[in-house]
Every structure is written in structure tokens, then in C-alpha cells.
Chains A and B, each alone.
Chain A
Amino acid sequence: MTIDYHAILPVLILSGTIVIVLITDLFLSPRHKSASMWVALVGVLATLVAVLSLIGNGDRTTFGGSYQVDAFTIVFQTFFMSAAAVVLLISYRYFREGGFYQGEYYFLLLTSFLGCLLMPASRDLLMLFLALELVSAPGFLMAAFRKSDVKGNEGGLKFFLIGVLSTAVMLYGMSLIYGLTGHLQLAAVSAGLQQLSGAKETLANAAILFVVVGFAFKVSAVPFQFWAPDTYEGSPVPVAAFLGVASSAAGFAGLLQLMFVAFVHEYHFWVPLFVALSLVTMTLGNLVALQQRQVVRLLAYSGIAQTGYILLPFALVSADPAVNHSAFQAAVTYILIYGIMNLGAFAVTTAISSRHPLLRVEDFAGLAKTAPLLATAMTVFMVSLAGVPPTGGFWAKLLIFQAGIQRGGVGVLLAVAMVINSVISVGYYFLIPRAMIFEDAEDQTPFRSPILVTAVVAVAMTALLVIFVVPNTIYRLGEVTSLGFGG
């Protein structure tokens, strides 16, 4: 078997970087430990270049079809490496000044991102499982990185226990599917499942349920969401950004492949499941978010609500390939745009945490005067998360509404539920702009945000405004990825 080294070049580069980060940390003096970030950043950017070099070379498959490079892979790998760069940049000051183990952190973070990198390229159950574990395992450690903080320990432990449990359930489901079909590769699994009938079909459905439950934990869908707010709140803020954006997106990248490829013919069984998951997740997430007055918890519940929105396209899957195509496209596009606005919101939160570690909503008061750029950007992020023009978030939501209306029937009901939820979400998303702009700070001295964080925030804000004016490019990304799936 020959290996296509160009296809796996991004993975190789990132793996090499991980080793280099770990080794250089040994030789850095305590004062210069933060240099690890720059090493990691160079590695991530090199990986990004390697990913981009795969564009236009057609689809590539290696390791006997387990690892595939196509539009879906390239789009998601680009997204994950951009997210990695952002998380690294916002981590720099936070970890340097917070008295953390820096080399170890960057090592763990990159390892998690290695899992993210593998996820969209994985085309068999085993690879998907490995990728997901690679994302999660370092995450458990990073979530508990604030060692002296009780909340950090609690959040980390919760995350670990639930993560392990969900993994076990999922793995059990995968083993059943392997036993029933004799295949691990997604396309073969799909064909194999179609031939089952009677008791075997029932067992297959149970197996699908197990796998879905496992992923539902990862993306924090209700009723498997309760770890998320505690874990986010207890983690260092950049880690919460990683969990809220990259880890969740990786879960969706896996789930998309499973539901739209491997299990697509069993949609009769699992679509009602996703209808319920989506409805309950978005509604509960929004209603609880309304009660939150701590920004990271608010973002955590907002993330749960947004998970509900992203689950909606799954509930639209039907026998009509055109609808599946639109649903897949909507989900991918939403994840991409959501990543930008959520990373931006976490970046601003990271900046504020140096002055106000408690991160209550009222700590943002008066930011419009003390840090106009951060306040403007945060307003854009919140308006965008609410899905209101003039921001990119509007286009993300539009595509899901559109897929729902196109599906008809239950799709229309889901779209109605989502628009009502979107209106409700304004109630809490606007809390932060209101505090920043309408109220005055106690401390009127100008707030100097770290330059790296400011740069990230400015780029994310600009991106959302540009996407608002020319949404076609990001829509195209969603469209090309759905060509290989959804049909």
C-alpha cells in the first residue's frame, strides 16, 4: 500500500510541531516559556499552508480509504487551523501572566487540534473515534488548567467523566455496527445497513442511537449539555474558546459524515430524534441563557442554543437529495460563520478577563468609552450571534431557514421554532452591548487590550462585516463541501 504523503502532509507537519513544542519547552528558561506559543503558531501556519496546497488537486484517498482529502476536508481543516491560530494568539498573554505551565498547554492544545485536523478527513468509524478522542483527551486536562481554582477542578472532572462515558457509549454503538455490517468505512457501512431487516435492523437502530448520544455529548446538545457551562466557566478563557468553537465543530464534522453518509438511509429512525434534540436544545439553551449574568456561562448557554440551530439541518434529512444537499450546506456554512463570531466573542472576553477576572456582564459596562474598538467588535459579534443584519450571522441563519422551508412539513415548523428562538436570543445577546454602550464604567481609565487579542478581534469583526456584504464566497464553501455528501 502506498501512502499519499501530500494528502497527510498537514497532519505530519502538525505532529512534528507538537513534538518540537514539547522539546523546546525543556530548554526554555522560566522567563521565556511563552516562546512556545510562537513555535506553535509557526507550526500551525505551516500546516495551514500545507492544507491550502491541496486545493485544486482533486480528491485524494489514502490508507485504504480511511483518510480522504476532498473539499469537505480542506474547508474544515482550513477552518480548524485558523481557529488554532486564533486560540494561540489569545492564549499568549493570558497564559504568560496567569502563572500557568505554558509549554505543556501549547502541547496539549496542538494535540487537540491534531484531532480536529483528522476529523473531517476520517472516512471510517475507527478513524472518527480516534480523531474524536484526540480532540477530547487533552481537552480534559486543559479544562482543569486552573489548578488552584475549585471551579476549574470541578469543571475539568465533570468534563472528563462525561466525556469518557459518552465515548464508551459511542464506541459500543460503533462495535455493534461493525458486527452487523462487517465494515468500518462509512460508505460500506451505509450499504451494509441498508440490507439489514427485522431484529438486526432494530439492533442497528440502537447502535445508531448510541453513536448519536456519544456525539450529542461532544456538541453539548440537551439533555447531554450540563457539563458545558461548568466546564467553560472553570476553564481558562482561551480554552473555553477552544471548547466552544473547535471542539464542538469537530464533533459536528464527524456527525455530518455519519448522518449524511453512513446512516443516511436510516433517516426514518433518527430524524425524529434530531427534531426533538434540535428543538429542545435551542429552546432550553436560550431560556437558560436569559438568566445568565456571567459572560462565559452566557456564552456557554448561547453555544448550546447555537448547537440546537446546527442540529436543525440534520432533522431535515429526507429521501430528497436536493433537500439533503441544502441541509448539509446550511450546517457547514453555519459552523464556519459561527466559528468566527464565537471566537471573536471569546477573544474580547479574554481581553477583559485581565481587568475583571469574574467576567460578569456589568464588568463590561462603559467599554464603549474605555475601549471603543473592543466594544464595537463585541457589539458586532453579539448582533451576529443573534443573526441580525448588518452582520454575517444573518446569512448563517438564512441558509438554515431556507433549508427548512425547502423541506416543507416539519421543516417549516422547525424554522418557525428557530426564528422565535432567534428573537428570544436578542434578550441576552444584547445585554453585553447594552452594558458596554448604555452604561458607564466605575473605572474610567482607558483599557489597553493586548495587541495580539486586539488584532484577532479586529480581523474577526471585519470578516463578519465583509461576509455580510459578499456572502457568496462563504456560501460557496458550504456548497462545494456538500457536493460529495448530502446527495
Chain B
Amino acid sequence: MTWQNSAITITTLLPIVGALGVLLVPKGDDRLVKGIGIAVTGVCLALAIAIAATYDYSATCAAPPCLQFVLNVAWIPVIGARYHVGIDGISMPLYVLTFLLGFLCAIYTGRYVPEPGRIKAFVALTLLLITGMAGTFIAFDLILFFVFWELVLVPMYFLIGVWGSANRQYASIKFFLYTLFGSVFMLLGFLALYFSGPVDALGKHTFDLAALTAFGAGGGYTHLFQLVVFGAIALGFAVKVPMWPFHTWLPDAHTEAPTIGSVLLAGVMLKMGTYGFVRIALPVLPQGAVAYAPWIGGLAAIAIVYAALACLAQKDLKRLIAFSSVGHMGFVMLGIATLTTIGIQAAIFGMVAHGVITGMLFFCVGSIYDRYHTREIADIGGGMSEIMPKMSGIFAFVAIASLGLPGLAGFWGEVMALLGSFSPNTSTVAGLNVGLFRAFMILGGIGTILTAGYFLWMLQRVNMGLAPERWKEHGFRDILTVEWVSWVPLLVLILVLGLIPSIVLNSTEQGVNQIVRIFGG
């Protein structure tokens, strides 16, 4: 047991230990439950930062994935599945982001426990969810990956279904069925990769992602196989992202979920899908990726414009933010579809930025709802800057970050994705159609304008104007200490990522280059 081979396992599985601990707390001791939640996620975050700090960013290796902190031991020998975890530059920002948001959510829970209470179950499920999400980013065995991937379903189902708002039952089962439907096809795709994949000296197949990547990148899978299996795997990822037209679960789930559920959904869970594309679908099935890239790019462009138009029509503040996620993830997918270094870099940066910004937006909306007890923009009726100047200032700051103002985190992901689609990867055998991707770029550009439009219009309707008398008499409290504590790290990050994007881009560069090299880039 050394720091190198145990750090990731301990960090990832600690929340489960915490969840079991929470269940053992005697009934009624809510403070202890909250305390355990904050302590466990805090330790996890500290460990994750320590991993990031002790990671050797200068190390190079021949083939992707370039892993450190590896632990690779037998798990299910009968089917050849192993417990293979590790981390590389691509996983690192997402892994740290998961624990950061988890920790901030735990702090937020210290003050805000959604109806109907049941704090023990709430904290335990949140901790289980964090393990599932974090595990997805460090699993390098397909079965292990799938287990972590599916581990998030049940806790999120209950978080939405028990602690959600009015339409929660419908939203929770819809979320569950959609994502399950996608992921079971993904599982069949994984099994197909296994049986058609490399065989070792003893005639055994492998689920090991590094081995499958080497095999797939070397052209081990036939073209037809790649087309079929990429479709199956991409379906699972696409539902999770969600790509248009598989997005319909998202507005419901995000809107009905309790605040921290929305934060974790938008902040981390959606990234599992895009991460899957970058980590598994692209490197293992490169020919499939080339064949599907124009379609993915097209759907992404549609998503950007569609989401912006949908946002313009929303009356519910939280639903508006939820729909904006569809557009932002559209930029991420557009970046991936270009199969270029800059595009995939944009995608990963976009994932992190969206996690920080949209997570923060959901915190804001949750706190606004806590004051007004309504999410209808018309009911809020404007004038928030008059009633709660600090809250409205932060809300405006985050909304402007989300619309992609240069200097803030939201900018880089979008502009790099558009740059990538200006010159998509044409060096592959089949090559991507430059004209087509430039059309996507133009659509994306229109999307950014519409995005600015709906966010500014939203700010105008919420922040500006004269506050209705009934709210003024109410005497809302402006931002509370607990909100400052859980928000400041995100606000700082929005600014830092906007000013120094290289803290993420440097970490991911090597891994992305290696993936793009598979496509001859």
C-alpha cells in the first residue's frame, strides 16, 4: 500500500464508507449527519487535491491512456474483469471537480435540507452518488466503468423522487428509464468490444481499456463492427450528455431535483457522457467516430440553437437554466465531433467550465427559490437588485459567465469549439467535410448570440426593474454565510479558469494529443 496505488481507491470509495457511517447515526441527530457529510466530502476533496498536486504532469508515455496512481488487481476472474483504476490528465480536472462540487453541496446541505427532511437518507444517497460519479472518471476496465456509471442511477432516482418539487415522481422515473435505456445498449457494445477484442497468450479476452484502446487504435476492429458498436455505445453516452434529441429527460429531472441534485446532475453527471466519448468511443472505435462525427456535429449544432430558442420560451427560472445545459453540452459535443486537438481540448474545458458555472447557477436558483418560494420569472417580477443586491450581483456574474463573456470560464470552451469546427480534422483517411463543419460553426455562432440574448433577457426580468411591493415587505435576507462558503470557491474558479485556462488545458493536452494522433492528426 503506497500513496501511488491506494490514493485513488481511498478517495473514491471513502464516500461509501461515509454513507454507511451516516446510516449508523442514531435517529434525530441531524447535526452529526450533516457533519459527517461535510467531513467526508472535505477529506475526499483534500485527497483529490493532493492527488492532483502529486501527479507528475511532465511524465510522458507512448500510448494512451497515460495513467498514474494505477491500481490493477483481479476482481472477477471468471469473466476477466479487473479492478483497474488510474488517473491521467483528462480525468484529473473532472475528478477534482466532482469532489469540489460534492463538498460544496455537503456544506449547502448544512443549511438547506429539502422537504421532507429524512436527512440521513439524503446525505447517504448523496455520498453514494459522489462515489459513482468519481469512479466513472478513474475506471479503466469496462465492467468497472459500467458499474460506477450505473451506480449513480439509483441514488439520483431517489434524490429526485423523494426530495424533488411538485412533478418529482414523473421526472424521476423518466430520468431513470431514459438513462437506463441508453446504458444497456452501451453494455452490449462493451461486451462486443470484449469478444471481438484482443486475446492474450492463454486465449482470454479482456475488458481492460488500455488494451482495448491499443487494439482499436491499431485498427483491430472491422469497419462494419465499428459502425454498429459505436452506435450502441454512443447511444448510452448520448442520452447521458444529453444530445438532442435524447435530451427530454433533462429539463424535467433538473427542474424537479432538489438544489444539490441539480448541481451534481449538471455539474458532474452530464460530463460522464461526454467523458465517455473522449475516453472510450473515440480512441477504441476511431473509424466509427469518423463515420459518426458529422452526425454528432449536426446534432450538436441543432442542440445549441434549439436549446437557446427553448430558453427564450421558458417561464420557469430553473427550467431555463436546465435547458441552457443542453446548449452548453452541444458546444462540448461539437468540439468532440471535430476530432481535432483544439476541439477536444475545448470539450474538456467546456465540461469543467459548465460544471462550475451551471452548478453555481443552480445554487443561485435554489437560493432564490428559497426566498421567493416561486420559480416563475413573472412571479418574481424583477427588482431583485433592489431587494437582495448581493444575490442579484452574483446571479448576474454567473449568468454572464454562462453566456460566454471573454475573461470568464464560459468563454474558452465555446470559442475553441467554434475554432475547431472551422477546421475539422481532415487528415484522417475518410476526412471530415470542412464545409459542413463550417455550417455547424455558423449555427453555433448564432447560438452564442441567442444564448447572450436569453441570459440578458432573464437578468432584465429578474434583476432589473422595480421590485413588486409584496416582496419588498417580505424582507428577504441577502446571501447567508453558508451560501458564501459554498459559493466563493466556484465564483473564484469561474474567474480563474477564465483568466488562466491553461490550468486545465495543460493537464489535458498530452492525453488529447494522443487521442487525436489515432486519427492521424
- On A, residues with C-beta under 8 Å from B are 383, 388-390, 394, 398-399, 401-402, 405-406, 408, 412, 415-416, 419-420, 422-423, 426-427, 430, 434, 437-438, 471-472, 475-476, 478-479
Contact = CB atoms under 8 A, between A and B. Distances in A.
A401 B153 contact: no
Contacts of B191: 401-402, 405-406, 415
Interface string B138-161: 000001000100110110001001
A341 to B, nearest CB: 15
B26 to A, nearest CB: 13
Interface stretch (B45-53, B169-177, B292-300, B508-516): B169-177
Given A401-B188, A422-B184, A430 B173 contact: yes
Contacts of A423: 177, 180-181, 184
A405 B195 contact: yes
B73 to A, nearest CB: 12
Contacts of B158: 437
Nearest to A422: B184
A439 to B, nearest CB: 9
Nearest to A369: B118
A437 B158 CA distance: 9
Contact of B180 (A412, A426, A479): A426
Contacts of B151: 389-390
A476 B147 CA distance: 20
A420 B128 CA distance: 27
Contact of B154 (A390, A399, A419, A438): A390
Contact of B78 (A405, A426, A430, A479): A479
Interface in B187-207: 187-188, 191-192, 194-195
Contacts of B194: 402, 405
Nearest to B27: A372
B188 A476 contact: no
B168 to A, nearest CB: 8
B150 A426 contact: no
Contacts of B78: 472, 475-476, 478-479
A401 B154 CA distance: 21
Nearest to A383: B154
A389 B150 contact: yes
Contacts of A408: 195
Contacts of B154: 383, 388-390
Contact of B192 (A405, A420, A422): A405
Contacts of A426: 173, 176-177, 180
A419 B177 contact: no
Interface of B: 75-79, 128, 143, 147, 150-151, 153-154, 158, 161-162, 168-169, 173, 176-177, 180-181, 184-185, 187-188, 191-192, 194-195
Among all A-B residue pairs, the 9 with the closest Cβ atoms: A419-B184, A475-B78, A405-B191, A389-B150, A472-B76, A423-B181, A423-B180, A402-B191, A389-B147
Contact of B76 (A415, A416, A471): A471
Given A471-B76, A472-B78, A475-B76, A438 B169 contact: yes
B188 A419 contact: yes
B177 A388 contact: no
B8 to A, nearest CB: 17
Nearest to A406: B195
Nearest to B193: A405
Contacts of A422: 180, 184
A419 B185 contact: yes
A427 B187 contact: no
A136 B3 CA distance: 59
Nearest to A476: B78
A307 to B, nearest CB: 20
Contact of A437 (B153, B162, B192): B162
B161 A434 contact: yes
B438 to A, nearest CB: 38
Contacts of B185: 416, 419
B396 to A, nearest CB: 37
14 contacts: A383-B154, A389-B147, A390-B151, A401-B188, A401-B191, A402-B79, A405-B194, A412-B188, A415-B188, A416-B185, A426-B173, A426-B176, A475-B78, A475-B79
Contacts of A401: 187-188, 191
